[in-house]
Structure 1
């Protein structure tokens, strides 16, 4: 085998996923057209373990699996992600759309696949309600608008104000200027 022909980790991931797909796809439970299914591996994905894209013009579903998730999970956990994405592929192929509703939930349960895939990365930010009688929290991986300017947004449960915490440092802020101050103070540790 020459250097150009060496198999990569991405090749391994796709090969294992294809084999698993052939094992779980059947006409009764999950009639996915494997010929109209493409596979890819994301080297960049940091929180989403997998996704399924639909190209309606070509009528082809593409399952993209995250290399970092493959590294983090044991195969049985990663296989659940593959089955989850196969359910999306089935919905796209059969109905032209996919979501996490009742139809998805029923099919995923039959395949012992999770309805929602957990993020495999720790959040960079945590939003927390400041009201003493509310325990609303939300995790964020990017500096979204609510992270950068929390004073413009409200708690998702009670409507109160919230604070944002930079998970690695523990620094918190409640305003846009607080965000800027925390970012400046942390410098390279941001």
Structure 2
């Protein structure tokens, strides 16, 4: 599932601060994959506008995966087309909730910026700079998908 928005559409949406301020409100928590992508894009646009003003965040392709088992997010780069795709894991979002998951958005946005700026991304010096500035971890927190948790539970209970 890929959904791209234009920069004006992103700018018209609520800011991250607005989102966090009423995070307990029933309508502020993304309940669908499309809502999660909308929230992530808004969050990324806000961060980019402040910290990476020249970065064309609207050119990022955004996806949600239901198949990924252990990573909350990943940023992929196609050197032939220079396309950047950020893919999030639905199960990770459901396990973490928006406030914790928003750090994954920041983390992957830094990688997208690195690809745009340097044509490669890593957890080296430039990432470390943004880690401190954004208060994000070097590696996204791992999670256990429901499938793995169920399998472990079944094995544990039968032994």
TM-score with structure 2 setting the length: 0.69
**Structure 1 residue ranges (4+ consecutive) displaced by more than 2 angstroms after TM superposition:** 29-32, 166-170
Unpaired segments ≥5 residues, structure 2: 1-30
- More strand per residue: 1 or 2? 1
Q: Is the partner of 1:25 in helix, strand or coil?
A: helix
Measure, in 2, the Cα distance between the counterparts of 1:46 and 1:117: 13
| Residue of structure 2 in register with 1:26 after alignment | 49
Which of the numbers 82, 92, 117 marks the counterpart of 2:140? 117
Contact 1:36/1:59 (<8 A) preserved: no
CA deviation profile, 1:46-74 (whole Å, cap 9, x unmatched): 21000000011221210000000111112
- 5 Å matches for 1:1-190? 9-26=32-49, 29-31=51-53, 32-121=55-144, 168=153, 169=155
- Offset of 1:107 from its aligned partner? 1.4
> Hey, what's the Cα distance between the residues in 1 that align with 2:108 and 2:126?
14
- How many residues end up aligned between the 2 structures? 124
Higher relative contact order (CA 8 A, sep 6+): 2
8 Å contact from structure 1 (residues 60, 93) kept in 2? no
* SS of equivalent residue, structure 1 residue 86: helix
Q: CA contact under 8 A between 1:52 and 1:63: conserved in structure 2?
A: yes
SS at match of 1:93: helix
Structure number with the higher helix fraction is: 2
Cα contact 1:49–1:69 (8 A) shared by 2 = yes
Question: Considering only aligned residues, what root-mean-square deviation do their CA atoms show, in Å?
Answer: 2.6
Looking at structure 2, the residues matched to 24 and 35 of structure 1 have their Cα atoms a distance apart, in angstroms, of: 12
User: Unmatched 5+ residue regions in structure 1?
Assistant: 1-7, 125-140, 142-165, 171-185
